Structure 1
């Protein structure tokens, strides 16, 4: 295969994987693959096509990669994944300080509820009879999890997983002390010895 084809293929793979990383977050794995592919394309251009081709590939990467990333982030909010991860744009009534929705969100602080959808970190939560947008204070929260509202953010609420109530400890009854065995009775003397007196040893009258 021609070196030009290798360089073009590696560069296109790198650009494609960069776009895929934007739409399918992988924790940086796809980003690493894309950078490796672009570096391989530049190295192949230097080794097989000369310094001029390698320099041209560097310049092309510097120009094309930011443009592709900008377009990908521009389209990302319109995708199904983008709508799940990013919050919906606020309505005009939601940005007014005393709007009813903002007051409602502030009134729910401290109350418990459940997640109606996965929070990644945005989603929908249900608190009492209210259904509104919610955002996780920390990591993702699965749908159906019990949550507690910790703050209001515009017309949405900031939530965290509700602490699990500890089960009450059952009292431990004290163990009864074992009964001590009764001390054995001293053996009784025979009737003859019980009636014995020292008068028997008195000498007879002279």
Structure 2
């Protein structure tokens, strides 16, 4: 009574060998599981070669593809396991790996173009002159701009809208640029006149 033909046994032994290789990645056995994987893979090829030469060569080619694939999948999954997390620690987020750049705090701030920006030029924010690049729009000197993003060594700007310009003037530390209503004074016109 034969449960499997030789090709069936060769497939089972190949799968068992790849399974032992995956287990070797997850369970430190000092090479014992790798030895069993090697024995199962060699036995799979011997059984396939006993059938005929073509089957044996095809199983050898399948093993040459399946073994690295199984090991690669195991190493991709390993950092997500409890043991992998304990050894490697938590992976840092993108924010943690990004270098500190003080210019990142400029995003959303309003400044004034100091030179003609075609597309690069200089802008003035908080009394500091900064090299910037417009988003493909020519910006005239004296025109308000908004910092859109800071990426690598580039500060990207676009022309500021009227609401953004007023909000920036309101938030400014310059007392003379604030509207008089902010200070709570009534109109300075003579009430008796």
Q: Which is helix-richer, 1 or 2?
A: 2
Greater gyration radius: 1
Report the TM-score range of the alignment, normalised by the length of the smaller protein: 0.3 to 0.5
Query: TM-score of the superposition, structure 1-length normalised?
Result: 0.43
